[in-house]
Amino acid sequence: MNTTGISDTARRIRREIIEMAYRSGGPHVGSALSCADIMATLYDGVLRLEPWEQRDIFILSKAHAAMSLYAALAIKGILDAKSLESYCRDRGALPAHLDRFSAPGIECSAGSLGHGLNIGLGMAYGFNRQRCDRRVFILIGDGESQEGSVWEGALFAPRLGLGNVTVIMDYNNLQGYGRPREICGFEPVQAKWEAFGWQVVLTDGHDCQALLRALTAASDGRPRIVIANTVKGKGVSFMEDQLIWHYYTVTTEHHDRALRELA
What does the binding site for other proteins look like in residue numbers (CB under 8 A)?
99-100, 107-112, 114-115, 117-127, 129-130, 148-149, 152-153, 155-156, 160
Cβ-based nearer residue to other proteins, 122 or 178: 122
> Of 210, 241, 127, 216, which Cα lies nearest the Cα of 166?
216
Supply the minimum distance, in Å, between the C-beta of residue 223 and other proteins. Answer: 13
Q: Please, what is the minimum distance in Å from the beta carbon of residue 108 to other proteins?
A: 7
Query: How are the residues of the chain apportioned to helix, strand and coil, as percentages rounded to the nearest 5?
Result: 50, 15, 40
Helices 116-129 and 148-156 pack at an angle, to 10 degrees, of 20
CB atoms within 10 A of CB 106: 24
Give which of 66, 57, 188 is closest to 128, Cα–Cα. Answer: 57
Note whether 258 and 250 are within 8 A (CB): yes
Residue 30 phi/psi, 5-degree rounding, is -60, -40
Q: Which is nearer to other proteins, 13 or 117 (CB)?
A: 117
* CB closer to other proteins out of 166 and 172: 166
Nearest approach, Cβ of residue 46 and other proteins (Å): 20
For the CB of residue 127, give the shortest distance to other proteins in the complex, in Å: 6
When computed from its CA atoms, the radius of gyration of the chain, rounded to whole angstroms, is 17
CB of 79 to other proteins, least distance (A): 18
Closer residue to other proteins in complex, CB, 155/195? 155
Closest separation in Å from C-beta 74 to other proteins: 23
**Minimum CB distance to other proteins smaller for 111 or for 261:** 111
Nearer to other proteins, 71 or 124 (CB): 124
Instruction: Tell me the C-alpha distance between 75 and 40, whole Å.
Output: 10
Asked if the bond preceding 158 is cis, omega within 30° of 0, the reply is no
Q: Report residue 232: phi and psi, to 5°.
A: -65, 135
